[in-house]
Chains A and B, each alone.
Chain A
């Protein structure tokens, strides 16, 4: 019954899910794009994998509050998995199945996650688990996190966030425990966004700002949603080919 209700909603409203390993990753990587999705009326979900173990990164409760505040600003529903961070240092079937359940419940039309090309071991394992857990999702895009995405991340999709950069920065200011970090500073965020706009050659605005993505898989059906059963049969093959090189 639930799946039927969800399918009806999907037809009229785009459902978006974005997965972040840590509380500020999603906002850092694609806060502007999520704000744009919300403005369009899309249903936006943020899946937060771990709250950390405290210490220099901030206590888990404080970080949860920060994430809730940022999600509220983005008009997004926050799903906190609170998986032990120590177990996220490498991919696991256990985490993959938790993630798969959450993704299936949301049933997004498009899923954003960390890039496979990321120095941070937790980001990397979240990316791999997401790819395994989301084989039925038609569109998967990888976002970059300025602090850890590697030069192998090759952007081939962009969102123009010129009108949403202030919202993104406002979201990041909610993450007080991270506020002293260099990559959280407003001028750094603006600098990357401006560079991405220019390097992407996506427009001609003098003040243009963008967030960059790498497409993992994007299936487009110009005349409606594809037959899911038929899609599932071929998706694993198509998906594998995208990562073959």
Chain B
């Protein structure tokens, strides 16, 4: 199955879908692509200047085969030009599953990107949405990806790693220019991500990421998930 994950920064994708992508990528029949439409602010923060196709190391590390970067995505409005830009990669990839931000997100970048992507993804069977903002009361997650992962890191290492991801996401989320904004944005939590201790084996932990189904196409793939 081909999967396309859409976000406006690599850290956004890592925060929202890391467990899901990693567990999907373990199976050879799943090929996962990322489509990133950086905002001007996020782009400068992330030093993402290379156009078109890029190998973003942190995304490659979790199993993303290829990353497409959309240059000059206009976040001031939903436009046909934006939709066409996203659609050009969707047509190229032909995914069965697209993961994108919540189209009702209170975050401006996510909302513009998601609504644009919905236009670009007509005819795509399954669209799942993530949300990193706890203030999105419209977000109603109903699809959960679960994975048990071997816990080779200590608790302190895990917390540090989560903190690093949150920090990066916060910077790009707020497109912050001063420390106060960054601190405000750090209160954003990944609403999609929940961790459980596995009661059966202490060296394993169970991670789950929650998505809202915008639409899910059932029973299509021979080895499909739905």
Contacts and interface: CB of A to CB of B under 8 A. Distances in A.
A156 B225 CA distance: 16
Contact of B144 (A157, A202, A218, A230): A218
A158 B23 contact: no
Contacts of B214: 156
B199 A215 contact: no
Interface stretch (A116-124, A127-135, A166-174, A220-228): A220-228
Contact of B217 (A160, A218, A229): A160
Contacts of B220: 160
B140 interface: yes
Given A156-B216, A202-B215, A227 B144 contact: no
Interface SS majority for chain A? mixed
B28 interface: no
Contacts of A227: 148, 198, 200, 206
B35 interface: no
Interface residues of B, number: 37
Contact of B23 (A156, A223, A234): A223
B24 interface: yes
B125 A202 contact: yes
A156 B217 CA distance: 9
Contacts of B81: none
Contacts of B148: 226-227
A238 B143 CA distance: 10
Given A202-B125, A223-B147, A229 B199 contact: yes
A201 interface: yes
A221 B217 contact: no
Interface of A: 33, 36-37, 40, 141, 155-160, 200-204, 213, 215-223, 226-227, 229-231, 233-234, 238, 241-242, 245
A35 to B, nearest CB: 10
Nearest to B122: A201
B26 interface: yes
B125 to A, nearest CB: 5
B142 interface: yes
Given A229-B199, A241-B141, A221 B146 contact: yes
B196 A230 contact: yes
Interface string B1-43: 0000000000000000000100110110010000000000000
Interface in B95-133: 122-125
A227 B212 CA distance: 23
